[in-house]
Every structure is written in structure tokens, then in C-alpha cells.
Amino acid sequence: MPVFAYQALQPGGGKSSGEIEALSRQDAFNRLRQQNLQPFQLSMKGAEAAAAAADGPSTGGENVLSRQQVLLFTEELCELLEAGLKLDRALQVIEQRQDKSMLRHVAASARLSLREGATFSAALKKASPSFSDLYCNMVKAGEASGTVPKILKRQVEFLTMMSELQRRVTSALIYPSVIFAAGIGLLAIFMTFLLPQLTMMLTKTGKTLPLATRVLIGISEFFGNYWWVILIVGTAAVLGFRQYTSKGKGRAWWDRAKLSLPAVGPLLRMRFYAQFTQTLSTLLNNGVSLMQAMQLIKNATPNVYLQDLLEKVAENVQDGAQLSRAVARVQFFPPTLIDIVQVGETTGDLGGALERSAKSYDKQLSVVIERVTALIQPMVIVMVALFVGLVAYSMITGIMQTVSGLPGRR
């Protein structure tokens, strides 16, 4: 079992040091807490420490949080900080929650990292992999501007909006999913049991079947004989696509393509505009320079294509161009946003202008979300109806043509 050397504060105020055996760093921290000790330094000793160093810094892989838990953690921490508590004390309050959720372990791990000198953004990343790069970079921006509570409040709004979007999409998909599954099941039964018998009957008449019927029969035979090939090719295609779009030029292409997809593209663009204006206004209003703010926003943007655009904007600003002109040159931002930036530069209140723009984009984003969720249900139903209708048309046409050619029919 690994051995950890520690230094801790005793309940009476004195200091204590020693060694303790534990399964992990988190386990050692918990054992010391059970002894009424507050560790402010904890390090692994011996060969285990060398192995851990070789593997790189810990990322809190065992402290996995759900999206709802991340939202709950952020809400509680934001409320505690806005109430006037220091960050260390706020994390301690979360750590002392009565329930035995994973939030306690995440708060304890982050608090320990803070005591060892890490920044809050780095402590979060180390405490749990559930805090995304976007989340941690937003916190880093808050640290640079001294507005961590405000940034966390913005994160609560963002996570709540994403949770609401997921809820709406899930609700909108329930009914069409049932219809889709029923349609697929019906087609599977039809093409597996009824179509072969119907095909045999139609071919015995010696009549030439309509093209649509022959195509349907061919598709049925192909799926019946080569379903395993389709499964292998489909799996390989999905894995290959994910591999290609995970890094390099493939990721840049996919990140750009997503912004042009129907329904999804407007949602992603509107979310970026809202995030860009809100974050930039927060940073500027708290004394962060424009160049530093642009760099922080770039690091907080997960889309590689948008990162390149922000890099170009920052380079133009560094060369002496105004932000409005730099934004206009990349030809991605809407004219209204460019005009708002220009007005803010003219009046000397760029942060205030961007903040007002952020509120406007938040409202527009809600409208876009409602439109997207409203379109999902009819789109799925129409797709199923078209698919079932084509199959029914193909078979009915073949039956009618065959029956009309039978002897005795006039």
C-alpha cells in the first residue's frame, strides 16, 4: 500500500507531521480528516511516487461527476462565494455535506490542491475529469480578472441551459422514437417473413415486376445475405470518422462543418456569440487587457475553427487595428455585433456594450433552442412516413400489376 508523508494542522492549532498508508491520495486525505487533522501538504513516498510522476499528474479520474452533479457543485460554490466566503472555506463547506456524494471528494481534492499552491482552475482539472477544458478555462479567466463568482454564475446559466436543451430534445424525441422503432420493427418483420413469400408468389406469374418492386426485393436479399458486411463496414466507418475528426485537419474541418449544419449550426453559432460577448465584457469590465482577454477566450473555446478565428482577431488587434475592424476582417461575426463593438469603442464603454449584446444573444439563443426542439418531432415522423410509404408503394405496385395480368382479368 502506498505511503504518504503529510503535514497537517491539529484541532488546537498546532502542527503535526508524519506518514500514513492509504490506497490513494484521496484516501489518505480522508483518513487524516477522520483523525481531526487538516492536511496542508501531502506527498507520496517511495517507488509509487516515482511511478506516479512518470505517468504524469493526476486528473482525478476516479471522481467522475454527472452533468447534473457538475451543475450542483457549481451552483453551491457560486452561492457560497457570493455570500462572502473565501474559496478554501467554500470548498470545505461542500466537503462537509451530509450526503455521501462524489461532490465531497471533488471538493476535498480541489481544496488540497489549493493548499499545495495550485490555481483553482488547475485544482478543478486535477480533482475531476468531468470539468471540461471550456469550464476550467472560463474559471482561469475569472481568476485573471478577479471575478470567479461571476464566471461561476455564468457557468451555472450555461450548464442549466444545456441541461434544459437536453431535456427538451429528449422529450421531443420520445414520441417520434416510439414511432420510428415501431416502423423499423414492422419493416423488419415484413422484409424477413412476408416479402420472401410474396416474392416467390410474384415471380411464379412470370410477369416483369415494376422497377420499384425489383429494387426493394434486391435490397431485401442483399441485407439478408450480407448483413454482417454492412455491420462491419458501418462500424469501421463510424470509428474512422471519429478518429479523423478527433485531431489535426480532420477536427478543424469537422468543427467548421458543424457550424453549417441545418438546425444545429445556428444553435452553435448563437451559443458562441453569447459566450464571446459575455466573457469578453466580464474580463474587460474587471481590468483585464484586451489582448489577454482574447487569449483567455480563445483557450475557453473548444471549437478549433473558432480558435483560429479568434487568433486572427487577436493578431489584428496586436497590429494596431480596432476590435471592430479585426472582428469584421474574419467575416464570421454578424454585422449587428460588429456595430455594437464599434459603438462601444466610440463611447469608451466597450465592456458595457458587449454586456448588453450578451443579453440579447441569450434571448436569441433561447428562441433558436425552441425552434430546433420544435422541428425534431415532425422531421423524424416525416422520415418514417416516407420510408414506410416507399416500401408500401413498391409492394402494392408489384401486386397490382401481377394481379391485373392474371388470366380471366379484364
Say whether both 252 and 382 belong to one domain: yes
101: in domain = yes
152 & 195 share domain: no
Q: Are residues 333 and 401 in the same domain?
A: yes
Residue 306 has pLDDT above 90, yes or no: yes
Does residue 183 share a domain with residue 140?
Answer: no
Q: Is residue 163, in this structure, part of any structural domain at all?
A: no
92 with 28, same domain: the answer is: no
* CATH code of the domain in which 103 resides: 1.20.81.30
Tell me the range of 133-142, 235-244, 401-410 where mean pLDDT is highest: 235-244
**Residue 102 confidence (pLDDT):** 83
Confirm whether 46 is domain-assigned: yes
Query: What percentage of residues in the chain have a pLDDT greater than 90?
Result: 16
Question: How confident is the model at residue 50, as a pLDDT?
Answer: 46
- Identify whether 23 is part of a domain: yes
Does residue 99 surpass a pLDDT of 80? Answer: no
Q: Of the residues 55, 81, 96, which one is the last residue of a structural domain?
A: 55
Confidence of residue 116 (pLDDT cuts 50, 70, 90): confident
Determine the structural domain holding residue 132 and report its residue range: 67-158
Residue 193 and residue 153 in one domain:
no
* Residues 205 and 110 both lie in one domain: no
- Write out pLDDT tens, residues 146-185: 788 888 887 887 778 767 767 776 777 787 788 878 877 8
Please count the structural domains in the chain. Answer: 3
Q: Look at residue 342 in the predicted model and tell me its pLDDT.
A: 92
Q: Inform me whether the pLDDT recorded for 91 exceeds 50.
A: yes
How far, in Å, CA of 275 to CA of 269, rounded? 10
Final residue in a domain of this structure, among 126, 158, 190: 158
Q: According to the model, what pLDDT value does residue 51 have?
A: 46
Question: Average pLDDT of the chain?
Answer: 81
User: Does pLDDT of 40 surpass 80?
Assistant: no
Is residue 329 a part of any domain in this protein? yes
Judgement on whether residues 236 and 384 belong to the same structural domain of the protein: yes
- The percent of residues above 70 in pLDDT, for the chain, comes to 87
73 and 41 fall within a common domain? no
For residue 89, being part of any structural domain is answered with yes
Residues 152, 260 share a domain: no
Q: Per-residue pLDDT for 47 more than 60?
A: no
Is there a single domain that holds both residue 142 and residue 198? no
Encode pLDDT of 130-139 as tens digits.
887 778 877 8
At residue 53 the predicted structure's pLDDT band, cuts being 50, 70 and 90, is very low
Assess if residue 134 is contained within a domain.
yes
Is residue 100 assigned to a domain?
yes
Regarding whether 19 and 122 lie in a shared domain, the answer is no
pLDDT tens, residue by residue, 337-374: 999 999 999 998 888 999 888 888 888 888 887 887 77
The pLDDT value recorded for residue 311 is 92
- pLDDT band, very low/low/confident/very high, at 237 (cuts 50, 70, 90): very high
